[in-house]
Structure 1
Amino acid sequence: MPLKEYVKKRDFKITSEPKSTPRKKRKDQEAHLMFVVQEHHASHLHYDFRLEFNGVLKSWAVPKGPSHDPKIKRLAVEVEDHPVSYGSFEGVIPEKQYGAGRVYIWDTGTWEPIGSVREGLKKGHLEFKLKGKKLHGQWMLLRTGRPASGRKSQWLLVKRTDEYAIPNDEVVPIEDEEGNVRRSTRKASSALKKKRKEHVKRLPDFIRPMLAELVSEVPEGTRWIHETKFDGYRTQAHIEKGKVRLYTRSGLDWSEKYPGILKSLQKLSADNAILDGEIVVLDKEGRSDFQRLQNSLKSHDVNDLIFYVFDLLFLQGEDLRERPLIERKELLKALLADLNQPLIRYSDHMAGHGKALFKEACDYQLEGIISKDQESTYQSRRGSSWVKTKCKLHQEFVIGGYTEGTGARSSFGALLLGVYEGDQLRYVGKVGTGFTEKSIEDILKKFARKEQKKSPFDIKSPRERGTHWLKPGLVAEVTFGNWTSDKILRTAVFLGLREDKSAKEIHIEKAKSLDDVMEAPKRAAKKRPSVSEGTLRQEISNPDKILYAKEKITKLDVTKFYQDYADLILPHLKDRPLNLLRCPEGTSKQCFFQKHISGKIPESLTPVSIKERSGTKSYFTLDSPEGLLALSQMGAFEIHVWGSRREAVEHPDLIVMDFDPGPGVSWKQVVQGAEDLKEILDGLGLKSFLKVSGGKGLHVHIPVAPIYSWDQIKSFSQTLAQEMAQRNPDLYTATLSKKARDKKIFVDYLRNGRGATAVMPYSLRARDKSSVAMPIEWKELRKIKGPDQFTLEKAIEHIKRRKTDPWKDYFKYNQKISILKPVL
């Protein structure tokens, strides 16, 4: 019995591992033979390397996993043959069973023997080629002659030197040391399967793009795929019901600028999709040329514009952002294969060989390359999963003025450039070359509307004669040689104007160490570190400005609070339309509400368009600590949120009941009111969470599934308020009028209407004395002395002292309301 040892070690009544007879033997050269590498989290992590031969899987345990580096020789301990069906096994081997632990398929594919397999196994020198998703090229298994602890032999798994060799290559496990899974496994959990089957009826509005971190060196290893870095306009294409919209990286609708691309995308064989890519113009050598792109757009000669697509976010109503990048690209490639439109092209990639590809890109005078973790999900932020490496220094600058022209070019001599440091504009030098007749004409037209008498530069402003000042707003793309020690550009060359970027988001780009970028998420995963005051001082203007005069609380104090506790705050804030109470001069001065966006906004804030009676309006949303930082900079530290999120604006996922005491109502009565509502909700089977409002009362939050309309949720919350008023009319009222509220608590259900908001958990309140809207446990309620108990200082002490987050299970509840009929 060929599998006798395999069967003997396992109890198939307990383990789900396959019990199988050997596959019918087949000639090696007549069919493709499979190989598989299984990541095995047994008592010690190792990788099981298996080759199909003679109807079974010949197997070796490789403690450190295979490496593409020919200089690295991996120990491979021969183990018992396994059935071929084991090649598709993923799952958990139960405790007390042989090899107990979780098993993932790390790689799989086909293998091709070089020479006789029987002779190779007999002599202890087997050579072969692998064609997998991660492993490629020629390999060797070499027997050492030293037996392992059992009867089996020790071998070495070694990569041959060929085009697939990668120096210093190391295995990246699917599951890390903390048990986090880096990708979805082939046998997805039922919850994930269910999630992937869900389809939206309408595509979301503009999705903030995923951005790459600038690094000083190219990452190596099979985990990374590398793409050409284009020099064009980042573009997000939304295709739905035959209509196509094209958005810039900041969410501007530029559809009318690209009629050819628009027409080509209308022929896509999909009911709906969201594509991510870059629109470029190529020179004769096939390189993207930003100045040619500018000239084409200015002259409306758009026939040469090409849309290179590198990612697929939605397809046929399915949100693909949680899928690994490599899966999204496979779907994208298949989608574009049938399009056959020359203006739409798939942006291909190469796995591994990053340094060699970067050298070729620079030799070919390309801008650089983008390296992406092939298992990464799509995240609307800048992070370590996508990194970019540039061949030359190249970035955007704010134009703050110009010098007078001389000689052949009398229009102007050079543009004066700057970057923002907080709210201050720093002068960084001039650019006087690289202009064409078209670009000069375009620039001069824009100068007329920007002229001013005073220098816009706050730091290192030039003082030479013949200088003309401009109001900051124009952004130039420039390539340059290097920086001087005092932050001045050398050998700058003008490439074009950027109309898709705000002047306020321009700062000096510094390439980070690759090691630092890769370590950042690991540090964050353990615990998001407290942000230093020194760092924040560089990020905001006027950090010492007093915002709460009585307590001498500064802008820096407020900013640090929101940054230190961003991990607690963001889940309740993410992607919700915001209504902001802004106090730029502090709470003792004039404050004002802002809910609609006017003008340009920081990159860390994302606009969402919402239809109102007066027309479509744009609201702020955010999903990152950088977004919170932007609000702090704006003096917007009292934050109110909608009860829905941007991708389902018309379907709230939150009910907030506000206990607002009228004159003559004690705090004890407010506490009783919240407890009375909890009793009603418990009777309906609805889990509720409690928050001290920081104002006058208490808020009860009820998380619900986003499957109801606003009218349904408002009606339900009104019914709750009316039920309380009916049960105890002497204490509660559901009527807003002041007459009805004397010595009563208004059970405010109105926060649950479309467009209404409630203060965010952990938000500061803009009052004479600081207070925080603090989530608490129900059992804590009787200990609370009042709604404004948690000043900023006490709130920080309370969060540090408590043993657990009272709302830690909040997002586990996706509750349905039994008396309501879902509209979705």
Structure 2
Amino acid sequence: MGGTKSAAEEIEVAGHPVRLTSPDRVIFPARGYTKADVFHYYLAVEDGIMRALRDRPTTLQRFPDGIEGEAFYQKRVPSRGVPPWIDTARITFPSGRPADELCPTDLAHVAWAAQMGTVVFHPWPVRAADADQPDELRVDLDPQPGTDFADAATAATELRGILDELGVPGWPKTSGGRGVHVYLRIAPRWTFTEVRRATIALARELERRRPELVTTAWWKEERGSRVFVDYNQMARDRTIACAYSLRANARATVSTPVTWDELPDVDPDDFDLRSVPARLAERGDPHAGIDDTGWDITPLLEWADRDAAAGQGDLPYPPDHPKMPGEPKRVQPSRDRDLNRGTTD
């Protein structure tokens, strides 16, 4: 005979009733963590997750049958079957098509998403009040084969030195995998194109200082065993798992804010569904001050102008993005007929 199905329960979150069904469904098989574990994890990290998500259009990475089952990204909130208190925000994709995404204004929105099988939260770097002008510049330090988290942490520390010279605070966190993310809170005055251009300029400066460690090469064949600065995470409709979001891996790790001082010594696998709530309760959120100041990115745009004058223009966009003015060809160098013409007999 089959086991008894656990009863659904209704839990009040931020003044709203949220129904939790199938609480015993296993979401992380290797650790035995259930849907109820995921749901209550997000309730336990309220301070951190709401700092990361509040008023941001958010794409949901859902795993209704657990992380080993089918997954999908939900970019539109359904028009039916949604609680009347759910808030949405309208975003526009690179194609020009709009969508109304979940826009968490309180913890009940996060709990509702968790009830719907959401494991990973991917907020846009904008607020609902102005969804076309980012207020968050994200630097994604992505270790390539032959490198690891320690290399990404070293690159992040070098980046910190550049940010100190610019007089802007950076806010590091683990990616939940092998990478490191560093966020800058910026004034929402610039377009996605301008903020991406500023990110490329910052990435190139980091690459110049540590060329043996860091690369901005879009094509994998050119990266080598270095840490790639994924500047295209600032292209419109590209998102990163937010601070305090779970990641869909066997260990149920969490993308976790850390201090600059502890970054070189942490093991990202130590931050998981069980350990992070206690860490947040005991130590507070290292990103607590992130919203204090919005920085002017004009110095980075000036660096971009300097680089362009030296012959370093734009870099390729993601393959699903419309062709942009001034963008180079989206052809990997080994297949570029113009680049390779005359190199062989």
* Common fold by TM > 0.5: yes
Residues in 2 aligned to 1:616 and 1:546: alpha-carbon distance in whole angstroms: 34
Residue identity opposite 1:805 in structure 2:
D
**d(CA) in 1 for partners of 2:188, 2:8:** 39
Q: Which residue of 2 aligns with 1:708?
A: 190
Q: Which residue of 2 aligns with 1:633?
A: 115
Task: Name the structure, 1 or 2, with higher relative contact order (CA <8 Å, separation 6+).
Answer: 2
| Matches of 1:671 and 1:790, distance apart in 2 | 16
Q: How does 1:71-220 map to 2 (within 5 A)?
A: none
CA contact (8 A) 2:139 2:183 kept: yes
Structure 2 CA distance for aligned equivalents of residues 568 and 603 of structure 1: 25
Whether the aligned pair in 2 keeps the contact of 1:422 and 1:540 (CA below 8 Å) is yes
Structure 2: distance between partners of 1:743 and 1:626: 43
Which residue of 1 is the match for residue 156 of structure 2? 674
* Distance of aligned partners of 1:651 and 1:586 in 2 relative to their CA distance in 1, 3 Å threshold: same
Of the three residues 66, 69, 72, the one matched with 1:592 is 72
User: Which of 768, 789, 812 in structure 1 is aligned with 2:270?
Assistant: 789
Task: Map 1:347-746 to 2 at 5 A.
Answer: 539-600=19-80, 601-612=82-93, 613-746=95-228
Q: How far apart in 2 are the matches of 1:604 and 1:568?
A: 22
Q: TM-score, normalised by structure 2?
A: 0.79
Per-residue deviation, 1:728? 2.3
Q: 1:727: Cα distance to partner?
A: 2.3
| Partner amino acid, structure 1, of 2:141 | F
Which of 740, 755, 761 is 2:237 aligned to? 755
Q: Secondary structure of the equivalent of 2:118?
A: coil
Quote the offset at 1:607 in angstroms.
Answer: 2.3
Secondary structure at 1:586 match in 2: coil
Matches of 1:565 and 1:791 in 2, distance apart? 12
Partner of 1:432: none
2:47 and 2:281 map into 1 onto residues whose CA distance is: 14
3-state DSSP of counterpart to 1:788:
helix
When Rg is computed on C-alpha atoms for both structures, the one with the higher figure is: 1
Query: Which residue identity lines up with residue 663 of structure 1 in the other structure?
Result: P
Return the offset for 1:638. Answer: 0.3
Whose strand proportion is higher, 1 or 2?
1
User: How far apart are the structure 1 equivalents of 2:119 and 2:150?
Assistant: 29
- 1:682–1:560: structure 2 CA closer, same or farther, 3 Å change rule? same
Is the CA contact 1:604–1:624 (under 8 Å) kept in the aligned structure 2? no
Shift of 1:590: 1.4
Structure 2 distance, partners of 1:566, 1:756, is 25
Alpha-carbon offset, residue 614 of structure 1: 4.9
Q: CA deviation at 1:608?
A: 2.1
Amino acid at match of 1:578: T
Q: Quote how far apart the aligned CAs of 1:701 are.
A: 0.7
Letter in structure 1 aligned against 2:47: D
Query: Within 1, Cα distance between the matches of 2:144 and 2:223?
Result: 5
Q: What amino acid sits opposite 1:788 in the alignment?
A: D
Counterpart residue number, 1:36: none
Instruction: Identify, as 1 or 2, the structure richer in helix.
Output: 2
Question: Deviation per CA, 1:87-118, whole angstroms, max 9, x where unpaired?
Answer: xxxxxxxxxxxxxxxxxxxxxxxxxxxxxxxx
Question: How big is the alpha-carbon RMSD for the aligned residues of Structure 1 and Structure 2?
Answer: 2.6
- Provide the C-alpha distance between the structure 1 equivalents of 2:8 and 2:83, rounded to a whole number of angstroms: 12
CA distance in 2, matches of 1:566, 1:616: 29
Match of 1:488?
A: none
- Gaps of at least 5 residues in structure 1 are 1-420, 424-506, 508-519
Q: Is the 8 A contact 1:604 1:622 kept in 2?
A: no
Task: Tell me the CA shift for residue 720 of structure 1.
Answer: 1.0
- Asked if the contact 2:254–2:276 (Cα under 8 Å) also holds between the matched residues in 1, the reply is yes
Structure 2 residues without counterparts, runs of 5 or longer: 1-6, 302-345
Paired amino acid for 1:810: I
Measured at CA, do residues 614 and 704 of structure 1 come closer, stay the same or move farther in structure 2, by a change above 3 Å? closer
Q: How many residues align?
A: 293
**1:592 Cα deviation (Å)?**
1.3
Of 562-571 and 592-601, deviating more is 592-601
Q: Tell me how far apart the structure 1 counterparts of residues 71 and 161 of structure 2 sit (CA, whole Å).
A: 38
Going from structure 1 to structure 2, the CA distance change for 1:661 and 1:617 (only over 3 Å counts) comes to same
In structure 2, C-alpha distance between the alignment counterparts of 1:721 and 1:764, rounded to whole Å: 27
Q: How does 1:301-316 map to 2 (within 5 A)?
A: none
Q: After superposition, where does 1:253-272 map in structure 2 within 5 Å?
A: none
Deviation, 1:722, is 1.4
- The offset of 1:668, in angstroms, is 2.3
SS of the aligned residue for 2:194 comes to helix
Is the alpha carbon distance of 1:820 and 1:658 closer, same or farther for their aligned partners in structure 2, counting shifts above 3 Å?
closer
CA displacement 1:3-51 (0-9 Å, x = unmatched): xxxxxxxxxxxxxxxxxxxxxxxxxxxxxxxxxxxxxxxxxxxxxxxxx
| Rounded Cα–Cα distance in structure 1 between residues aligned with 2:92 and 2:262 | 41
The verdict on how the C-alpha distance between 1:614 and 1:654 changes in structure 2, with shifts beyond 3 A counting, is: closer
Please, what TM-score do these two structures have when normalized by structure 1? 0.34
Partner of 2:308: none
Residues in 2 aligned to 1:758 and 1:566: alpha-carbon distance in whole angstroms: 19
Q: C-alpha displacement at 1:792, in angstroms? A: 1.1
Task: Tell me if the contact between 1:583 and 1:636 (Cα under 8 Å) persists in the aligned partners.
Answer: yes
Name the structure 2 match of 1:460. none
TM-superposed deviation, 1:814: 1.7
Distance 1:810 1:767 in 2: 27
Whole-angstrom CA distance in 2 between matches of 1:595 and 1:685: 36
Question: Which of 279, 282, 300 does residue 801 from structure 1 map onto?
Answer: 282
Matched AA of 2:189: I
- When residues 794 and 686 of structure 1 are mapped into structure 2, their CA distance, relative to the original with a 3 A threshold, is same
**Residue 797 of structure 1, CA deviation:** 3.1
Q: Which residue of 2 aligns with 1:482?
A: none
Q: Distance in 2 between matches of 1:820 and 1:778?
A: 22
Counterpart contact for 1:733–1:744, Cα < 8 Å: yes
Partner of 1:815: 295
Q: How far does residue 805 in structure 1 lie from its aligned partner after superposition? A: 2.5
Q: Deviations over 1:177-214 (max 9, x none)?
A: xxxxxxxxxxxxxxxxxxxxxxxxxxxxxxxxxxxxxx
Q: Distance in 2 between matches of 1:552 and 1:734?
A: 39
Give the % identical residues: 29
How far apart, CA to CA, are the structure 2 residues paired with 1:609 and 1:628?
Answer: 18
Once residues 288 and 43 of structure 2 are traced to their aligned partners in structure 1, the CA distance between those partners, rounded to angstroms, is 19
Q: Within 1, Cα distance between the matches of 2:91 and 2:297?
A: 26
Task: Give the match's secondary structure for 1:646.
Answer: coil
Residue 568 of structure 1: CA displacement?
Answer: 2.3
Amino acid at match of 2:86: L
How far residue 741 of structure 1 moved from its aligned partner, in angstroms, is 2.6
SS at match of 2:201: helix
Partners of 2:144 and 2:224 in 1: how far apart?
A: 5
Contact 2:90 2:131 in 1 (8 A): no
Structure 2: how far apart are the matches of 1:630 and 1:781? 32
Summarize deviations over 1:326-364 as a string: whole Å, max 9, x none. Answer: xxxxxxxxxxxxxxxxxxxxxxxxxxxxxxxxxxxxxxx
Comparing 639-648 with 717-726, greater Cα deviation is found at 717-726
